[in-house]
Amino acid sequence: MVFGFFGRLHHSLDLFAHFRWHLAVLLALAGLFALWSRAWSIGVVSLAMAAIAFATTQGIAGMPFSGPQRAAFQAADDSQAVYRLLHLNLRYDNPTPERVLSLIGRTHPDIVTLAEVSPMWAGKLKLIEAAYPNPLICGSDVRVGGGAILSTRPISGGRCFDRGTFAMATVNLNGRSVDAVALHLGWPWPSDQWWQIGRLAAPMAMIRSPALVAGDFNAVSWSAAVTAMAKAGGLHIVDPIGASWFYRRAPAWLRPWLGLEIDHVMVKGGIIVRSARILEDVGSDHAPVLVEFSLGRELEQGQPVQVVDDAF
């Protein structure tokens, strides 16, 4: 567990951070057993260490080793429009695409960010083009698929990076231009996650304010990997949201207790976060994430542009 606090020193250590709260619970149980066995010093130290480690996973502002700076939640203001962003790693071979399309229809998000948009999914998304015209879909010719951005609002300046794992476009929300990004990081060390973070440093620096970045980071919010991505884009993380990934053949009700919090939404600029929550299972090994937000009054008015261009 201690190794996970030093992921910035070596990428292999960051692997332990992803299981920090699980290990903290195990350490607490060991501490209770030590107290029951009258090993008082060991029990007290174990419980104290477990409590500190667990606290760093709870999105407490200013807590050391807890990841990037948090975006504060603010109650809804009746004078400001509230928009919705839905993020989901579809899973490229999801056997129940109709459940995903039904969820989008029921929640009616203004912006949808997707990962693993495989050739199968590219075809299925055509069924909702009437509601979400001119989508930006990247890497759909790859078996596992790439990222996508859909919106009920006009989209412009669509671009794809890193073999389609990073999709970026500008969405016009009632005359205000907002950069939207859908990304999908690879698996942690010893896989290529940190090499990908390096490759995405330049695209992350291109993100303008205000912006929303949503994706499957394959890393928890308090990890060095997520902290590096937030720093590269000058972003604040929306946290806590909850565990979003769990082994898909296991009971879904176990996800909040044993799953991993690896799907995140980050913001910058005048984005005001109203709420964030995990939605019901739709056949993927990832749960959908729904974030409600408003735009600060200080944001300048922009001009809507209807066409997605520069996609490659």
Domains and CATH numbers, the chain: 2-55 (no CATH), 83-295 (3.60.10.10)
Mean pLDDT of 171-196: 96
CA dist 50 and 44 (Å) reads 10
User: What is the pLDDT confidence band of residue 204, given thresholds at 50, 70 and 90?
Assistant: very high
Q: Which of 255, 274, 253, 279 lies closest to 104 in space, CA to CA?
A: 279
Q: Which of 22, 42, 17 lies closest to 32 in space, CA to CA?
A: 42
User: What is the pLDDT confidence band of residue 300, given thresholds at 50, 70 and 90?
Assistant: very low
Express each pLDDT in 84-137 by its tens digit. 999 999 999 999 999 999 999 999 999 999 999 999 999 999 999 999 998 999
Residues 6+ apart with CB under 8 A from 133: none
Express each pLDDT in 227-243 by its tens digit. 999 999 999 999 889 99
Q: Report the percentage of the chain scoring pLDDT > 90.
A: 75
8 A C-beta contact, residue 272 and residue 235? no
Question: Which one of 71-80, 195-204, 295-304 scores highest in mean pLDDT?
Answer: 195-204
Using the predicted structure, report yes or no on whether residue 305 has a pLDDT greater than 80. no
User: What is the pLDDT confidence band of residue 143, given thresholds at 50, 70 and 90?
Assistant: confident
Determine if residue 162 is left, alpha or beta; phi over 0 gives left, psi from -120 to 50 gives alpha, anything else beta: left
- DSSP 3-state assignment of 20? helix
Residue 253: per-residue pLDDT? 87
Q: Which of 260, 304, 288 lies closest to 85 in space, CA to CA?
A: 288
Residue 263 structure tokens: 């799907």
Using the predicted structure, report yes or no on whether residue 309 has a pLDDT greater than 50. no
